[in-house]
Amino acid sequence: MIIVMRTGAGKEQIENVIEKVHSFGLRTHPIYGVQKTVIGIVGDDKTRIVEKMHGMPGVEDIIPILQPYKFAGREAHPEDTVIALGDVRIGGEDVVVMAGPCAVEGEEMLLQTARRVKSAGARVLRGGAYKPRTSPYSFQGLGEEALKYLAEAREETGLLVITEVTDPRNVELVSRYADILQVGARNMQNFALLTEVGKSGHPAMLKRGPSSTVKDLLLAAEYVIIEGNRDVILCERGITTFETYTRNTLDLSAVPVIKDISHLPVIVDPAHATGRTHLVEPMALAAIAAGADGIIVEVHPDPDSALCDGPQALTLTQFDSMMGKVRSIAGIVGRGL
Ligand code: PEP
Ligand code: MN
């Protein structure tokens, strides 16, 4: 916790503040800057300080945490955040698998995929209704029609639904159908969208932007959390590097890095990270081994005819086979599925 004194705060005001802190049995570390004096406070229970010190003459601000990500960091919240949705606990002991098509293309293909991924052990159905495509001429998604199919698939299978929201104006609509709102990599720093998602109070998964640092990701999460929504999941989905063989480069070390500095659950998306079906399984297994709380993958009944991201989609059979190995690796790192 740090007390920032106003520019020009007098010696007497600074001494009064220090004395007050001492009266709570806490120690002070004043740093006398040219412009401002900052008073660091050391001790266990600092909550009383915040209540008592605001409004004291000369006090400008009371900053409880040193990390820039005040609420997403472990400094403020040492225990892991576990997001409980029905009987699914994201960030808990079990690894959570999210699977489904990149885009919802129709009712039948979605139901067929949902049934299969459910029986293979997935807990969350993914499927884009609003697709953030690089080209405006590419398939943009079926919109609300797709949301209805997702809700229908949830009804039938009991899977939770995650789907992307691309526009702040659609947050309310998508929240009516989805259990988890996905903020895509391209929108990671769309602050108006993050704020709306925060206000919605709906669990959200925030995907790391391809050119963003881990710190940027955590600060983006802050935008959601400061609106009062603490149910935020982070997703590593590959970043831009000079490598061209893969679509992006999966930054696997980001998983233990984020788990170290943040309490939020971390999911890995090996599909968008690699862009190639044959790399999805090895990277999914590596993600679980690295400590990810789950994975999100794309599954399509006929990837060759997919309207979006076919080259990185698993077939239903490939998904079944991957899940057997995911279960084994999860067991090795002491987790269930
Ligand atoms: C997606 O999950 O469908 C997607 C568009 O991913 P990303 O935002 O990571 O590119
Ligand atoms: Mn996709």
Average pLDDT (235-243) is 98
β-strands 59-63, 96-100: how paired?
A: unpaired
Share of the chain above pLDDT 70, in %: 96
Q: What is the pLDDT of residues 273-296, one digit of tens each?
A: 999 999 999 999 999 999 999 999
State the pLDDT confidence band at 127, using cuts at 50, 70 and 90.
Answer: very high
List all residues whose CB is within 6 A of at least one atom of ligand 1.
Answer: 102, 128, 132, 184-186, 207, 237, 269, 272
Is residue 76 one of the residues assigned to a domain? no
Q: Which carries the bigger pLDDT value, residue 122 or residue 54? A: 122
- Indicate the top mutation candidate among 105, 182, 246, 268 to test ligand 1's pocket, ranked by most ligand atoms within 8 A of CB: 182
Domain with 193, as residue range(s), is 83-332
Do 93 and 171 share a structural domain? yes
CA-128 nearest atom, ligand 1: 3
Do 127 and 50 share a structural domain? no
* DSSP H/E element including 153: helix 144-157
β-strands 83-85, 88-90: how paired?
A: antiparallel
Do 209 and 276 share a structural domain? yes
- Indicate the top mutation candidate among 104, 130, 162, 186 to test ligand 1's pocket, ranked by most ligand atoms within 8 A of CB: 186
Q: Residue 43's domain is classified under what CATH number?
A: 3.30.70.1140
DSSP 171: H
* Predicted confidence (pLDDT) at residue 108 exceeds the cutoff of 70: yes
Q: What is the pLDDT of residues 250-278, one digit of tens each?
A: 999 999 999 999 999 999 999 999 999 99
Using CA atoms, how far apart are residues 98 and 268, in angstroms rounded to an integer?
A: 10
The pLDDT value recorded for residue 50 is 67
Q: Residue 155's domain is classified under what CATH number?
A: 3.20.20.70
* Residues 6 or more apart whose Cβ sits within 8 Å of residue 120: 99, 319, 320, 323
Instruction: Find out whether 294 and 277 touch, Cβ atoms under 8 Å.
Output: no
Gap from CA of 8 to ligand 2 centroid (Å):
54
Is residue 72 one of the residues assigned to a domain? no
* Predicted confidence (pLDDT) at residue 185 exceeds the cutoff of 80: yes
β-strands 37-42, 2-5: how paired?
A: antiparallel
Do 210 and 130 share a structural domain? yes
Q: What is the pLDDT of residues 13-59, one digit of tens each?
A: 999 999 998 988 887 877 776 677 878 776 666 667 767 788 899 99
One-letter amino acid for residue 76 of the chain: A
Do 315 and 223 share a structural domain? yes
Is residue 289 one of the residues assigned to a domain? yes
Instruction: Find out whether 83 and 96 touch, Cβ atoms under 8 Å.
Output: no
Is residue 98 one of the residues assigned to a domain? yes
The pocket of ion ligand 2, defined by CB under 5 A, consists of 102, 309
State the pLDDT confidence band at 302, using cuts at 50, 70 and 90.
Answer: very high
Q: Based on the structure, what is the number of domains in the chain?
A: 2
